[in-house]
Structure 1
Amino acid sequence: MKTITIVKAAWSEYQQQLTAIRHMVFVNEQKVPEALELDEFDTTATHWLAFHDTEAIGTVRLLDNGTIGRMAVLPPYRRKGVGKALLQHCINEAKDRGIASLHLGAQIHAIEFYQQQGFELIGPRFLDAGIAHQHMRMTLNPMLRRGFTAEINLQANPARAAVDLLKNTRWELRIFSHSLENSLYANEHFLRYAHEFIHRHQGNTIFLMICDEMPLREHHHPLLDMSREWKTAIPIRKLSIGHTFGAKEFFMVGDEDKLITYPHQSAINNAEYCSVESIARDYRESFDRLWRHAKPPLSLKPFY
Structure 2
Amino acid sequence: MEIVTLNWEETIPVRHKVLWPDKPPSFCKVEGDESGRHYGVKIEGALVCVASVYIDAGSARLRKFATLEEFQNRGIGTALLQHMIEDSKSLHVKKFWFDARESAIEFYRRFGFSMEGGRFFKSEIAYFKMAKSLVA
The residue correspondences of 1:1-304 to structure 2 (distance < 5 A) are 4-11=1-8, 15=9, 17-28=10-21, 31-32=22-23, 34-65=25-56, 66-142=60-136
User: By percentage of residues, which structure has more strand?
Assistant: 2
The whole-number CA distance in structure 1 between the counterparts of 2:20 and 2:117 is 27
TM-fit CA distance, 1:34: 4.3
- Listed one character per residue, the Cα deviations across residues 215-243 of structure 1 (whole Å, up to 9, x for unaligned) are xxxxxxxxxxxxxxxxxxxxxxxxxxxxx
Provide the TM-score with structure 1 as the length reference. Answer: 0.42
Give 3-state SS (helix, strand or coil) of 1:137's partner: strand
Percentage of matched positions with identical amino acids: 27
The whole-number CA distance in structure 2 between the counterparts of 1:129 and 1:67 is 20
Give 3-state SS (helix, strand or coil) of 1:110's partner: helix
Give the root-mean-square deviation of aligned CA atoms: 1.4
Decide whether aligned partners of structure 1 residues 129 and 34 sit closer, same or farther in structure 2, where only a CA change above 3 A counts: farther
Q: Which protein has the larger Cα radius of gyration, Structure 1 or Structure 2?
A: 1
User: By percentage of residues, which structure has more helix?
Assistant: 1
Moved over 4 A (4+): 32-35
Give 3-state SS (helix, strand or coil) of 1:50's partner: strand
Provide the TM-score with structure 2 as the length reference. Answer: 0.91
Question: Do the aligned residues in 2 keep the contact of 1:99 with 1:140 (CA within 8 Å)?
Answer: yes
Paired positions, count:
133
TM-fit CA distance, 1:118: 1.3
